[in-house]
Structures are given as structure tokens and as C-alpha cells.
Amino acid sequence: MEKSVSTISLRKWVKLNPRKQHQLLATWAEDHAELGPTFHARYTELCEAADLDRYQSPAWLSPAEARAALAGFHATIAGLDQQESETLPTTAWQPRFAVEVVLDQVHNPYNVGSILRLIDNFGLAGLTMSRPCPALDHPRLIRAARGSQAWLPVTVVDDLAARLAAEERPVYGLERDDQAVAVGDWQPSAPCVLLLGNERFGIADHLRPLCTQTVAIPMFGFKHSMNVSHAFAVAAQKMVENLERLK
């Protein structure tokens, strides 16, 4: 297996389906005693050729832990179970920013999966959802999350109003209203909560008074609405830029 992944031509590699590519990468990492420069150069080449998500090992992991985590990352995306792989992700999620993302009645599994992937991309703390919500094993959620649902902390609550009312951190609501600050002028701090609303109706009326501040994305076309995951990407980028400056 190691030889085939090491020597397979890129032309043949890109013709494999993504699940097979992730399976091969997981097994390849498992077979390596050490992930040295040669491994990483080939690994990067293969991931870039096939446009695959690739694992970036945190600095605090030992070489053995990094190898197991890389193998587990690809095994999870490939959908391998415990019988097929002994190295599913075991390392705790270590967020870069103390930002909890909260979803108010976001029902579309693809949107939730996309938001999970963005939480991983931006290094945020985790996700809280109100019921009813998609199951983490929903096929469309899994497809969009690209494995991140396996390692990100996810909490589901029955009473989101009570949860937010008891919150001591600032609660920023991503919502267009008369009191909202434009996202370009927003100066968020952390730790905090970022609240996203329903795909059609936005943040529920009874939750808006629980927001410390609402934030709006200026829009200049005919449509004055945006997909919730796209809006979250805009807000998350602004948020991490500001939090990086505050460090």
C-alpha cells in the first residue's frame, strides 16, 4: 500500500474517487513509523492534485500522535468504522478562538455541515444547535462537513432562550435590523457567542433581545438575503481578523 501511494502517477491518482483516496491516505499514514519531509512532500502533492482536504498537525502532538491523527482524519472522511481503522481521531479539539457558534432552528443538513466545516477552518470553539436539528450522521451533513463533525464539540439544547439568557459572554447575532452594526465596523471580542438564525426567518423574535449586539452584512444587489453558511463565513472572517489583532 505504501509503495502504491508513494509511486502512483498523479494521472491515475486523480481518477480514483475521493473516498478511495482518503482510504489510501489513511492506510499509508498508518504504515509509516515517522512522517518526515519526504512523506509530507508527497502527501501535499497528492492532496493538491485531487483537491482533497488535508490534515495540519497541531504543534503539541508527539510524532506518534500526529501520525495517528492524520490517519484518523482521512479515515473519518472516508467513512471507515472502527473495524476498518484503528486510528480514528482521538486528539481533543483545540480551538484558536473562544467563539461558540449557536444555531437557532437551522434545519438544512447541508448548511449545518458547511457551518461545521467553517468552524474548523476558522479554529472556533464549537457548535450549539436548538431542537429540532439535523442528525450528525445525516448524509448531506456529512458530505458538507468533510469529517469535521467527528472532532468538533457539538451540543444540542431544548430551550435556547434559557441557554442564551444565562449566558455571561457577549452574544452577537448575525441579523439585519435597525440596530445592527455593519460587519465592517464590528469590533467583536472573545470569549463570545455568535448566533445564527433560521434559513428563512433569521433569528427568532424572542431571541433578538438576548443579543448583546446584532451585526449585518451590507448587500447592494436585488437580493437582500444570503445563505446562512455564506453569511457565517463573512462574519467569521471579520471576527478572527479582529481577534488576531487583540492578541
Q: What pLDDT is attached to residue 80?
A: 59
% pLDDT > 70, the chain = 93
Kindly state the average pLDDT of the residues 5-32: 89
Q: How far apart are CA 17 and CA 222, in angstroms?
A: 39
Collapsed DSSP state (helix, strand, coil) of residue 129: strand
Kindly state the average pLDDT of the residues 18-34: 86
Higher per-residue confidence, 68 vs 82: 68
Amino acid at 130: S
Collapsed DSSP state (helix, strand, coil) of residue 217: coil
Q: What pLDDT is attached to residue 82?
A: 38
Structural domains in the chain, sorted by start: 2-78 (no CATH), 99-246 (3.40.1280.10)
Q: What pLDDT is attached to residue 162?
A: 94
Q: Could you read off the pLDDT of 144-180 as tens digits, one per residue?
A: 988 788 889 999 999 999 999 999 999 999 988 888 8
Average of per-residue pLDDT values in the chain: 86
Residue 129 has pLDDT above 90, yes or no: yes
Residue 121 has pLDDT above 50, yes or no: yes
pLDDT band at 85 (very low <50, low <70, confident <90, very high): very low
Higher per-residue confidence, 88 vs 97: 97
Q: How far apart are CA 2 and CA 28, in angstroms?
A: 5
Higher per-residue confidence, 63 vs 92: 63
Query: Is residue 236 packed enough to be buried (19+ CB in 10 Å), middle (13-18) or exposed (0-12)?
Result: buried
Residue 2 has pLDDT above 50, yes or no: no
**Where are the extended beta strands (E) located within 159-223?**
171-174, 181-182, 192-196, 213-216
% pLDDT > 90, the chain = 47
pLDDT band at 88 (very low <50, low <70, confident <90, very high): very low
Residue 44 has pLDDT above 70, yes or no: yes
Q: How far apart are CA 149 and CA 96, in angstroms?
A: 17
Higher per-residue confidence, 115 vs 80: 115
Residue 183 has pLDDT above 80, yes or no: yes
Contact between residue 175 and residue 230 where contact means Cβ atoms under 8 Å apart = no
pLDDT band at 92 (very low <50, low <70, confident <90, very high): low
Which residues, including other chains, have CB under 8 Å from residue 26's CB and lie 6 or more apart? Answer: 71, 72, 73, 74, 75, 78, 80, 85, 87
pLDDT band at 83 (very low <50, low <70, confident <90, very high): very low
Kindly state the average pLDDT of the residues 137-148: 86
Q: How far apart are CA 61 and CA 31, in angstroms?
A: 18
Residue 84 has pLDDT above 70, yes or no: no
Least confident of 24-33, 86-95, 147-156: 86-95
